[in-house]
C-alpha cells in the first residue's frame, strides 16, 4: 500500500452523539492514526486517565499555555477550557501518522482560520434531539441542569454542521462506523496526498 501524506481528521459532535465510541473503533481499525490529546480544565470523569483522555490542568496553567501561543486552537465549552497544542499534532504528523482531533465547533473554526494544517472535518449528528436527550440521561454523568445546557448547545452546534466537509448521522453505531471508515479510506487515497507516489 502506498504511503500518503499524513493529515488531520477533525471530529465534532454534540455531547451524547457517541463520538468517543466511534473514534475508539476507528483507531482500532485503521493503522497509522494517532490521537491528539487535548488539554482541559474540565474535572476528570470516572475512568479517565490523565495524559490519555486529556491533559487535565487548572485554569491558571491553561491561561499560561494559551498566552504563550502553545495552542493551535482553544475554546471554552460548558464553562471549561479545551485546547490542542501544536506540539501534540506535530509529533504525530512527523511520525507519519494521520491525527484525530476531537474538538468542538469553535475549535474547528479556529483551526480553519489558522490555515496551518491539511485537515478533513467531520460532524457527527444525533438522529434527533429527543434521542440525544435520552442518551445524555442514560449516560448518568451530568446533573439535569448540565443536560439542559448541553441540549441547548447541541441546537447551536447542529446549525454549524454545514461548515464541515462531511456530516454523519449516528442513528445506528455500525452504520455510522461504516460511513466514517469510507471517508477515511477515500481521503487517504486523495490524489493530492499521494502525488509523490507518481512523480
The residue ranges of every structural domain in the chain are 8-189
Rounded CA gap, 42 and 144, in Å?
Answer: 18
pLDDT at 1: 47
Torsion angle defined by CA atoms of residues 16, 22, 25 and 31, in that order, rounded to the nearest 10 degrees: -140
Residues with pLDDT less than 50, the chain: 1
Rounded CA gap, 106 and 108, in Å?
Answer: 6
pLDDT at 124: 95
Pick the CATH number of 8-189 from 3.40.50.300, 2.120.10.30, 3.40.50.720, 3.40.605.10: 3.40.50.300
pLDDT in tens, 115-157: 899 999 999 988 866 676 676 666 666 677 777 777 778 888 9
Question: Pairing mode, if any, of strands 55-56 and 39-40?
Answer: parallel
pLDDT at 199: 52
Residue for cell digits 446549525?
159
User: What is the pTM for the complete model shown?
Assistant: 0.84
Amino acid at each position: 500500500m502506498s504511503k500518503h501524506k499524513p493529515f488531520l481528521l477533525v471530529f465534532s459532535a454534540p455531547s451524547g452523539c457517541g463520538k468517543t465510541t466511534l473514534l475508539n473503533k476507528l483507531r482500532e481499525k485503521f493503522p497509522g492514526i494517532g490521537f491528539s490529546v487535548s488539554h482541559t480544565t474540565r474535572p476528570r470523569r470516572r475512568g479517565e486517565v490523565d495524559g490519555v483522555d486529556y491533559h487535565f490542568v487548572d485554569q491558571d496553567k491553561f491561561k499560561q499555555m494559551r498566552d504563550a501561543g502553545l495552542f493551535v486552537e482553544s475554546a471554552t465549552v460548558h464553562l471549561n477550557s479545551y485546547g490542542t497544542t501544536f506540539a501534540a499534532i506535530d509529533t504525530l504528523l512527523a511520525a507519519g501518522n494521520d491525527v484525530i482531533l476531537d474538538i468542538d465547533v469553535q475549535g474547528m473554526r479556529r483551526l480553519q482560520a489558522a490555515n496551518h494544517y491539511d485537515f478533513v472535518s467531520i460532524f457527527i449528528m444525533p438522529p434527533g434531539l429527543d434521542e440525544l436527550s435520552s442518551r445524555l440521561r442514560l449516560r448518568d454523568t451530568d446533573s439535569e441542569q448540565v443536560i439542559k445546557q448541553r441540549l441547548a448547545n447541541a441546537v447551536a452546534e447542529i446549525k454549524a454542521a454545514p461548515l464541515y466537509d462531511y456530516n454523519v448521522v449516528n442513528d445506528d453505531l455500525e452504520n455510522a462506523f461504516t460511513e466514517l471508515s469510507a471517508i477515511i479510506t477515500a481521503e487517504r487515497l486523495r490524489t493530492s496526498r499521494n502525488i509523490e507516489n507518481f512523480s
